[in-house]
Amino acid sequence: MTKQTSTQSPGARLRALLAQPGILVTPGVYDGFSLRLVEQAGFKSANISGAGVSESNLGWADVGIMGYTENLRASAALAAISSIPLAADGDTGYGSALNVYFTVQGFERAGLACLMIEDQVWPKRCGHMEGKSVISAEEGAEKIRAASQARRDPDFVIKARTDATAIHGLSEAIRRLNLYAEAGADLLFADALLTAEDIGTVAGNVIRPLSVNMGFGIRQRPTTPLLSARQLEDMGVKAVSYPRMLTAAAVQGMKNALEVFGQSISENRVIDRPDLLVSFGELNDLMGLKHLQQLQESFVDPSEGK
């Protein structure tokens, strides 16, 4: 699979998807394997999971260990090979409104379609973790205003996230989202809503399209209830992301394989479980080996003429 060329910018392509009827379903990706699989499955867009990038690249949980440079490098690498528009997680923008300005420009130059900026106090943490705190609504709005002004392509999508629900309640989350929309946000996200009614209330009271996350694999309570994409669409939600589905599935798959491998060592025998592993050929197909071979063959080997 190769990156598709388009006369439209990544942001324009994402806006076109958001303008279509129905809800936009975006799995969370974090590396080349996950992105290739999402493309292969036919999804039109994906979100780069900040937690997934931190966990897979740095080996640490999503509590602000990953900085701007590491996040941008990983996101740029995915955007460079992607055939679909990608949204990235810009955390808090890594500082003040001035830092947000340059953070947005960095991710836009890197080929992303969208950047999410949140209103947590740095160091941030995953929205479903305890101990979160948020900056003032006014400071959050100023960050979004800086983000909006920073983009060179007017189609680059600014997504504003608030974590205020768990701290100040649903009404304050709605107030903040509308302030952020007035400051220039195109897409809104209230993290860690605890009931379906809360999701519907937010969707019905914000002035820009609403995005939500569905957290497969999150077993602790309370957390956002799992709802189908159609249910969310009926509530007025425009986009839904599944940021931890593929990271959790990958870890479980590796655990399963290592368990069998450990058994083979302890029993001093070979245990081959093809059901736990993709074949060598399938892996190479997924990672574009045929395209690389065709590309190599298209170049003239200077040694052949000697």
Neighbour-count burial of 82, counting CB atoms closer than 10 A to its CB (0-12 exposed, 13-18 middle, 19+ buried) = buried
Average pLDDT of span 10-21? 98
pLDDT of amino acid 218: 66
Contact 96, 66 (CB under 8 A): no
Does the pLDDT at position 142 exceed 80? Answer: yes
Q: For residue range 169-180, list pLDDT tens digits in order.
A: 999 999 999 999
Q: For residue range 216-240, list pLDDT tens digits in order.
A: 766 665 578 899 999 999 999 999 9
The full set of domains in the chain, from first to last, is 10-244 (3.20.20.60), 251-298 (no CATH)
Q: For residue range 33-80, list pLDDT tens digits in order.
A: 999 999 999 999 999 999 999 999 999 999 999 999 999 999 999 999
Neighbour-count burial of 64, counting CB atoms closer than 10 A to its CB (0-12 exposed, 13-18 middle, 19+ buried) = middle
The CA dihedral of 73, 251, 199, 92, to the nearest 10 degrees, is -30
> Could you give the percent of the chain with pLDDT greater than 90?
88
Q: For residue range 241-276, list pLDDT tens digits in order.
A: 999 999 999 999 999 999 999 999 999 999 999 999
Give the Cβ contact number of residue 95 at 10 Å.
Answer: 14
For residue 220, what is the DSSP state?
A: S
pLDDT of amino acid 1: 57
Phi, psi of 11 (to 5 degrees): -65, -40
Q: Which residues pair with 187 in a beta bridge?
A: 159
What is the β-pairing status of strands 157-162 and 114-118? parallel
**Residue 128: pLDDT band with limits 50, 70, 90:** low
On whether the pTM is more than 0.85, the answer is yes
pLDDT of amino acid 125: 73
Does the pLDDT at position 7 exceed 90? Answer: no
